[in-house]
């Protein structure tokens, strides 16, 4: 059985979607462990409820980012993961960490990348009057939210929407597409080659996988 390690910082709703997909055999793998940089992250409780080892490492325990990431790598590697999944993990990762897991490190970001990397994506969408928003699953590289996109999902933005409305709409799509991408990787269908995403031996376009019209 292949093994997944998930990194979180908060509520862990995408973690829950992955745990559920594993239970339903939609992902042919197990979540081997969950790590958080916040001791009070509710996602840790989700992990414990599912009888998954749950760990918290806080920045205050370490001299600098590099020391934090080295310890995190050691603890992750003890679980020998095939894939490391960032699910709302809010720390910027060191180049050493990203390099160590290159090609088996994925993230989900609440925007249609390359639009709106970084924080406060929903607020920016509202401020700019966008009519379409969405979410992107991508491989992680040294460039913040800049790794090759694997799959995106769009959502409409309606007049009168607030950030909570958009968040709920985007998360609904995230919970559908993130387990799907994880399953592609676990099945050996998905890989990163030459800083590009490939699915079933075919180079994906810049916006990731798209079904033919």
Cite the active site residues. 109
**CA pseudo-torsion sign 192, 70, 121, 173:** positive
CA separation for the pair 54, 116 (Å, rounded): 31
Q: Which pair of structure tokens corresponds to residue 161?
A: 């929407």
CA separation for the pair 58, 37 (Å, rounded): 5
CA separation for the pair 46, 41 (Å, rounded): 9
What is the number of helices (H) and of strands (E) in the chain?
6, 10
Helix (H, G, I), strand (E, B) or coil at 150: strand
Please list, residue by residue across 153-188, b when 16 or more beta carbons sit within 10 angstroms of its beta carbon and e when fewer do.
bebebeeebeeeebeebbbebbbebbbbbbbbbbee
Contact 40, 10 (CB under 8 A): no
Helix (H, G, I), strand (E, B) or coil at 125: helix
- Residue 188 CB contacts under 8 Å (≥ 6 apart), including other chains: none
């Amino acid at each position: 059985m292949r093994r997944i390690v998930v990194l979180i910082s908060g509520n862990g709703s995408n973690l829950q979607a992955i745990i559920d997909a594993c239970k339903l055999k939609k992902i042919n793998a197990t979540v081997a462990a969950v790590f958080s940089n916040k001791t009070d992250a509710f996602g840790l409780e989700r992990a414990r409820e599912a009888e998954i080892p749950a760990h918290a490492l806080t920045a205050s325990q370490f001299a600098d980012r590099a020391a934090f990431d080295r310890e995190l790598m050691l603890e992750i590697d003890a679980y020998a993961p095939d894939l490391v999944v960032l699910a709302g993990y809010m720390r910027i990762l060191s180049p050493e960490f990203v390099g160590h897991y290159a090609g088996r490190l994925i993230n989900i970001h609440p925007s249609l990348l390359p639009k709106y990397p970084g924080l406060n994506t929903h607020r920016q969408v509202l401020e700019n009057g966008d009519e379409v928003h969405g979410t992107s699953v991508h491989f992680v590289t040294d460039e913040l939210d800049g790794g090759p996109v694997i799959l995106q999902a769009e959502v409409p933005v309606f007049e009168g929407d607030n950030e909570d409305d958009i968040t709920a709409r985007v998360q609904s799509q995230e919970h559908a597409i993130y387990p799907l991408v994880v399953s592609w990787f676990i099945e050996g269908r998905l890989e990163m080659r030459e800083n590009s995403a490939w699915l079933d031996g075919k180079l994906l376009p810049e916006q990731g996988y798209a079904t033919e019209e």
